[in-house]
Amino acid sequence: MPGAGEMRAMVLDRPGQSLRLERRRWPRPAKGQILVEVAACGVCRTDLHVVDGELTEPKLPIIPGHEIIGRVAELGEGVERFAIGDRIGVPWLGFSCGECRHCRAGRENLCPNARYTGYQIDGGYAEGALADHRYCFPISDDYTDAEAAPLMCAGLIGYRALRFAGDARRLGLYGFGAAAHIVAQIAAHEGRTVFAFTRPGDQAAQDFARGLGAAWAGSSEEPSPEPLDAAILFAPVGALVPLALRAVAPGGRVVCAGIYMTDIPSFPYEILWEEREIVSVANLTRRDGEEFLALAPEVPVRTTIEPCPLEKANEALRRLRDGQVHGAAVLTMTG
């Protein structure tokens, strides 16, 4: 029970190391915070970037995890948005200052003072987590806890990336994992044609993409069967950027949706010419969350998940790193 005894948490002490299981006292919410009794937490590629040291400014030690689904167990002073027992989701964006020029312009995702769940704020690889109530979302009853977890990042970032792709009718998705399998469903709902590009030889991912409505699925090293209006890169591989540029038609756009990417190799100007664009997607806004979580049940988005117990977090991260997860891995607190 929250507040009684200890809770389990998987903790990162230093990048490059495995997470260790620790027992901690349940935290108590401060003003404006809520204590969430975590039911499920998705395992996101961003967690890998934190654990592997590719994101270089974590609070250490840190409890990773930012795709949190749970119930409100305790309210801090001044919290009126939620009640004890409400089911909520906690995303990557955990705080923004509200005062900088980006926040005032509705672009809190670019706030230089922002803090992030599972990076600077202890996250959901634990039985309990604290969160600022202003950055949490109510969760539809259309989803179980584990099914809802990937919506909190794979869904939210995927939705923002799709909006950056504009009205593209022929859409390429490079890397068909947690985010792409959600985006493909929204794109099909909107009448777009999806082309899925996977690791060479990954027949399982290609079959998975076709099963979700992709008109074509093949290796990222293959040319696109048709010129694309836009491409979204979910795989953190810089070498895919020139390949995607070659695949998009004049006036097309390449959207880099990851928080981290390996270096982009040099490429000839001719594949950027004719008003092609490269843009990146950074984080999310609360408006993204509200729009996406209203849309998801209408599509309806169905998440493909691989649940595993909290203590197996290192194994889930390894499988994600090795490309062995189709859909999304989700940690569950009950096993």
Count of other CB atoms within 10 angstroms of residue 147: 20
Strands (E), 2-63: 6-11, 20-25, 33-43
Give the β-pairing of 68-75 and 87-90: antiparallel
Same domain assignment for residues 11 and 145: yes
The CA distance from 290 to 280, in Å, is 21
Q: Residue 335: pLDDT band by 50, 70, 90 thresholds? A: low
Same domain assignment for residues 128 and 216: no
Contact 126, 63 (CB under 8 A): yes
Contact 86, 138 (CB under 8 A): yes
pLDDT of 4 above 80:
no
What's residue 5's pLDDT?
81
CATH of the domain at 100: 3.90.180.10
Range of the domain at 125: 6-150+284-332
Residue 1 lies in a domain: no
Quick one: CA dihedral 16, 48, 334, 22, positive or negative? Answer: positive
What's residue 3's pLDDT?
59
Instruction: Output DSSP code: residue 300.
Output: T
Same domain assignment for residues 96 and 184: no
- The mean pLDDT value for 249-266 works out to 97
End position of a domain, from candidates 257, 280, 303: 280
Residue 181 lies in a domain: yes
Q: Residue 334: pLDDT band by 50, 70, 90 thresholds? A: confident
- The mean pLDDT value for 102-126 works out to 98
Residue 305 lies in a domain: yes
Same domain assignment for residues 79 and 202: no
Same domain assignment for residues 11 and 138: yes
pLDDT tens-digit profile of 143-189?
Answer: 999 999 999 999 999 999 999 999 999 999 999 999 999 999 999 99
Same domain assignment for residues 128 and 175: no
Same domain assignment for residues 168 and 234: yes
Element (H, E) at 250: strand 248-256
- The mean pLDDT value for 9-19 works out to 97
Residue 131 lies in a domain: yes
CATH of the domain at 259: 3.40.50.720
End position of a domain, from candidates 247, 262, 280: 280
Residue 82 lies in a domain: yes
- The mean pLDDT value for 292-306 works out to 97
Same domain assignment for residues 121 and 176: no
- The mean pLDDT value for 86-113 works out to 98
Listing DSSP states for 226-249 in one string gives: S-EEEEEE-S--TTHHHHHHHHEE
Same domain assignment for residues 144 and 45: yes
Q: Residue 289: pLDDT band by 50, 70, 90 thresholds? A: very high
Residue 39 lies in a domain: yes
Q: How many domains does the chain have?
A: 2
Collapsing DSSP states into helix, strand and coil, what is residue 240?
Answer: helix
Same domain assignment for residues 142 and 167: no
Residue 130 lies in a domain: yes
User: Cα–chain-centroid distance for residue 238?
Assistant: 19
pLDDT of 113 above 70:
yes
Same domain assignment for residues 11 and 144: yes
pLDDT tens-digit profile of 186-236?
Answer: 999 999 999 999 999 999 999 999 999 999 999 999 999 999 999 999 999
What's residue 1's pLDDT?
56
Nearest to 193 by CA among 157, 229, 163, 153: 229
* Percent of the chain residues topping a pLDDT of 90: 97
Same domain assignment for residues 195 and 266: yes
pLDDT tens-digit profile of 48-74?
Answer: 999 999 999 999 999 999 999 999 999
Helix H, strand E, coil C: the string for 113-170 is CCEEECCCECCCCECEEEEEHHHCEECCCCCCHHHHHHHHCHHHHHHHHHHHCCCCCE
Query: Which tokens go with 135?
Result: 């950055």
Collapsing DSSP states into helix, strand and coil, what is residue 331?
Answer: strand
Nearest to 121 by CA among 63, 179, 57, 74: 63
End position of a domain, from candidates 280, 295, 313: 280
Residue 38 lies in a domain: yes
Give the β-pairing of 93-95 and 87-90: unpaired
- Does the predicted TM-score (pTM) go above 0.85? yes
Q: What is the mean pLDDT of the chain?
A: 96
Collapsing DSSP states into helix, strand and coil, what is residue 197?
Answer: strand
Query: Which tokens go with 290?
Result: 């509200």
The CA distance from 284 to 282, in Å, is 7
Instruction: Output DSSP code: residue 225.
Output: S
Element (H, E) at 208: helix 203-211
- The mean pLDDT value for 238-255 works out to 98
Quick one: CA dihedral 69, 178, 203, 190, positive or negative? Answer: positive
Quick one: CA dihedral 92, 95, 96, 98, positive or negative? Answer: positive
Contact 112, 74 (CB under 8 A): no
